[in-house]
């Protein structure tokens, strides 16, 4: 697997492309009285021009409580069918920005809030990436497995994809 570290707008474009393609990631937060992370699946609403990732979530969730204590977060995206993976470590910010709530509100989000868009528990979560790393193949799973097997048998360097840091 070749290494290609990306910078600035190219890195933001790669992050946005992978997050939009995979859509649901595991958001990890850090509970106050535990040595283990707490992870939940989250569907993002937007990746903005700076690479920040936006969500709507509840002020009554464990995730909210953890972020109130420690704003460090990790997001993990995995698309096993296409062998695309993304790991993001960042900082969380929480607010009640009505404009963003209205912008991101949809039927899926509505299912989590029985009092609708005016539910007082609705919060906006912004993840600001501090570091990110991606792994991506240039072909489907079967071709990738064939390339890996060929490399093992022949010892020849066969391009199985790329990985690298995203420097936003």
How sure is the predictor about 38, in pLDDT bands with cuts at 50, 70 and 90? Answer: very high
d(C-alpha 115, C-alpha 86), whole Å:
34
- What lies within 8 Å, CB to CB, of 67 at 6+ separation is 29, 73, 92, 94, 125
- Residue 151, pLDDT > 70, answer no
- pLDDT averaged over every residue in the chain: 90
- Residue 145, pLDDT > 90, answer no
Residue 168's closest CA among 121, 134, 139, 137? 134
- Residue 79, pLDDT > 60, answer yes
Strand 38-43 versus strand 46-47 pairing type: unpaired
Residue 152, helix vs strand vs coil: helix
Model pTM score: 0.88
Domain ranges of the chain: 2-167
What are the backbone dihedrals phi and psi of residue 74, each rounded to the nearest 5 degrees, phi first? -135, 140
Asked if CATH classification 2.30.110.10 holds for the domain at 2-167, the reply, yes or no, is yes
Q: What is the mean pLDDT of residues 133-149?
A: 65
Structure tokens at 78: 């995995």
């Amino acid at each position: 697997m070749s290494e290609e570290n990306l910078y600035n707008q190219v890195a933001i474009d790669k992050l946005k492309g992978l997050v939009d393609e995979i859509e649901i990631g595991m958001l990890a937060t850090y509970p106050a009285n535990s040595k283990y992370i707490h992870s939940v699946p989250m569907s993002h609403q937007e990746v903005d021009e700076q690479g920040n990732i936006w969500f709507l979530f509840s002020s009554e969730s464990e995730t909210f409580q953890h972020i109130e204590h420690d704003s460090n977060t990790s997001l993990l995206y995995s698309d096993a069918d296409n062998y695309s993976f993304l790991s993001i470590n960042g900082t969380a910010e929480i607010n009640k920005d009505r404009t963003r709530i209205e912008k991101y509100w949809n039927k899926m989000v509505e299912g989590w809030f029985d009092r609708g868009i005016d539910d007082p528990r609705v919060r906006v979560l912004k993840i600001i990436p501090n570091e990110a790393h991606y792994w991506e193949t240039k072909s489907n799973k079967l071709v990738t497995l064939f390339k890996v097997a060929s490399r093992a048998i022949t010892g020849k360097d066969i391009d199985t994809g790329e990985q690298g840091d995203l420097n936003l």
